[in-house]
Amino acid sequence: MTWLSWRLFRAQGYVTLVVLACLALLAVATGPHLAQTYADSGIAGCTGGRCSDLSRSFLADAKTGLTGATYTIGALAMVGFPILAGVFWGAPLVARELETGTYRVAWTQSVPRTRWLLPRLGLALGAAAVAAGLASLALTWWANPLDAAQGGRLQPGVYLARGIVPVGYALLAVAVGALLGAVVRRTVPAMATTFAVVGGLMLTFSLWLRPHLVPPVHANVPLDLADLQTFSETNGGHMEVVANFAQKGALVLTNRTLTPQGALFVGPADPTQCDRRLPGQQCMDWVDSLGLRQDVTYQPASRFWDLQLVETGILVALAAVAVGLCVWWVRHRIT
Amino acid sequence: MTSALTARGLTKRYGRRTALAECTLEIPAGRVVALVGPNGAGKSTLLNLAAGLIRPTSGEIEVLGDTPACSPDQLARVGFVAQDAPTYAGLTVADHLELGRRLNPRWDHRLAERRIDDLALDPRQKAGRLSGGQRAQLALTLALAKRPELLLLDEPAASLDPLARRELLQGLMTHVVDHGASVVLSSHLVSDLERVCDHVVVLTGSHVQLAADLDEVTGTHYRLTGDARDLDELPPGAELVHSTGTDRHRTVVVRSALPVVGDRTQVEPLGMEDVVLAYMARAASPAPRPDSPAEAVR
């Protein structure tokens, strides 16, 4: 079965190798220059407020030209690869056999279905994991200066393209694709469902699940008005004041401004201090005098690997379930 | 000697659609069996059940004394050429032989290569670019070189032109003569099978209308033509198969172990095709038959 699995996968395998090689070439061409620019920028040893200025100018500089293109292509490729692997490797694996009737050739040789399916699925899973792993390794190395300047890798677009989660998503996508292919039995609808399901899982994890995979950290600090996110006052005196969270690279879950008593601060604004006819700074000073607190729950940037490990574990477990279901379905439902 | 195939109350339903209902039959081993019947009679379903690709909803089926596809060994003993002879379009002819070699313990590579050579197929040709006849031959080669004890062929010749059809069946027969194997081949083209088979099973509406050796079939069926009054009473020992005609003039097909002689009626012995058609016509006619619950589902 190893031979047949490889023979049927060969063309796709070669295409993937070529694409990987192109990406690697791009990374090698731009990587050393990027690392040098970072070293010269002085971000590594900076202190205080100078840091953000240095980072900003380094990032603005780095995200142009070929380096910028590599960054964008890398991010897209890493997010797109699991979906593509699910759609083009997973979904047709069983569906195409059923659709073209070749399953009647494959399953009437002297090899039971399970021993036909597992090598084929194993090869697709292995190839997807290796490709995703290598690409992620290369990109994680290449983007290291950029990630350092940005202070963290927890933003979804970055997080999904670094570390080991790409491997988890690639495995899950291929397994889900194969399962859907067996259930749907038609290649193109199976591909479309796989696209929707894998894309949906990525979104669900990024938007809702990831921040809660590890219990978030809670912080209650004096409100710092120097770096504001929102400062508004409506006619009724209702106020909304939210400051940015000072910790660099943190993934913020909730960010509220509380009164010293612990209630949510909503005003009312003091009409003698905050008025459109008075200078804005007067209102600001008044708010500053209230002793407001910033109440934040967040995942610190240092949690990157914890989150990656937990998420990848969940993805691999889900992939194993999908593989099990796929085997069961092929054995017991395609009859 | 175990039979090639035994079915008892074999039923396959897809949701509400019944593809095969309560089919009971026995196909002897060591024969070339023609499984004939109209489209939708359940021939394909029966063969797919026998190949282990599908499982019965109820009832039992045994192939060479064992459950179909129950083990690698059982799979190795049965060769199957599915309807329309599916092949991997992207794989070459040589790839298909390699597939067979790697997936079958009893694979006869020399036989496979010789057949491909005899057929003048280019081993480097992709299966997707072969003609229908060449594809059918490739699929048959794959099944033959597996050296099965039982070969199941589902409408192997249906989509082929007459010449390709004859070549395919000739190739099959040559193999059977040389290597010996039981064969069950289904078809609705009765004329094809007459030349190759030695046992015939007529299946209509899931029901076995006739199952007998070919010489028995051709030696025991007669067509009687004549005045309706003379045919009211059949010759002694004769069993009515099918009757057509008007109140005055009738044509009757009978089965009789004894030779039938007519005095006022015209009597002619029937060949396989006519016999099969008579049984199929009987099954299709609206006349009530007590033994046909399957009629209701069609």
Q: Mark out the alpha helices in A86-212 (DSSP H runs).
A: 91-100, 103-106, 113-142, 144-150, 156-159, 165-184, 187-204
* A140 and A162 belong to one structural domain: yes
Whether A100 contacts chain B with CB within 8 A: yes
Do A37 and A182 belong together in one domain?
Answer: yes
Where, residue-wise, is CATH 3.40.50.300 in chain B?
5-205
Residues A114 and A245 in one domain: no
Q: What percent of chain B has pLDDT over 90?
A: 50
Number of structural domains found in chain A: 2
Pair (A192, A308) in one structural domain: yes
Cβ-contact B201, B36 below 8 angstroms: yes
Query: Is B53 close to A107, i.e. CB distance below 8 A?
Result: yes
**What's the gap in Å between the CA of B148 and the closest CA on chain A?**
10
Q: Given this model, what pLDDT does residue B295 score?
A: 38
Query: Do A191 and A42 fall into the same domain?
Result: yes
Dist. CA B43–CA B129, nearest whole Å: 29
Report chain A's mean pLDDT, rounded to a whole number.
93
CB-based contact, A119 to chain B, within 8 Å = no
Indicate whether A56 and A174 sit together in one domain. yes
- In tens, the pLDDT along A259-293 reads 999 999 997 888 888 887 888 888 889 999 999 99
pLDDT at position B97: 97
Q: Do B52 and A105 touch (CB under 8 A)?
A: no
Give which of A68, A88, A79, A176 is closest to A132, Cα–Cα. A79
Residue B291, pLDDT score:
47
Read off the pLDDT band of A237 (50, 70, 90).
Answer: confident
Q: Is residue B156's pLDDT more than 90?
A: no
Adjacency order of strands within the sheet including B221-227: B239-245, B249-255, B221-227, B266-269
pLDDT digits (tens, 9 = 90+) for B6-52: 999 999 999 999 999 899 999 989 999 999 988 888 999 999 999 99
Residue A101 near chain B (CB below 8 Å): yes
* B75 or A150: which leads in pLDDT: B75
- DSSP, res B5: E
pLDDT single digits (tens) B51-103: 999 999 999 999 999 999 999 999 999 999 999 999 999 999 999 999 999 99
Same domain, A290 and A316: no
Using CB atoms within 10 A of its CB, is residue B222 exposed (0-12), middle (13-18) or buried (19+)? buried
Are A101 and A136 in a shared domain?
A: yes
Query: Would you state the pLDDT for residue B289?
Result: 46
Instruction: Answer yes or no: do A203 and A227 share one domain.
Output: no
Q: Which amino acid is at B39?
A: N
**Helix, strand, coil % in chain B, rounded to nearest 5:** 35, 30, 35
Is the torsion defined by CA of A283, A287, A288, A294 positive or negative? negative
Res A275: pLDDT: 80
Q: What is the pLDDT of residue B290?
A: 45
CA distance A301 to A13: 36
Residues A37 and A80 in one domain: yes
CATH 1.20.1250.20 fits B5-205, yes or no: no
Q: Which of these, A101, A2, A330, A331, lies nearest to B139 by C-alpha position?
A: A101
A25: containing domain = 1-214+303-333
Residue contact B55–A112, C-beta within 8 A: no
Neighbouring CB atoms inside 10 A of B220's CB total 20
Q: Residue B112 is encoded by which pair of tokens?
A: 């496979």
Q: Does B158 touch chain A (CB under 8 A)?
A: no
User: Which residues of chain B are within 8 Å of residue A120 when distances are taken between CB atoms?
Assistant: none
Structure confidence at residue B287 as a pLDDT band (50, 70, 90): low
Contacts of A111 in chain B (CB under 8 A): 72, 75, 103
Q: How many residues does chain A have?
A: 335
Percentage above 70 pLDDT, chain B? 95
Residues A284 and A147 reside in one and the same domain? no
Q: State what percent of residues in chain A have pLDDT above 70.
A: 100
Q: Model confidence over B224-283: pLDDT tens digits? A: 998 888 887 888 888 889 988 888 888 999 998 888 877 788 899 998 889 998 998 888
What's the token pair of residue B168? 């395919």
Whether residues A161 and A45 fall in one domain = yes
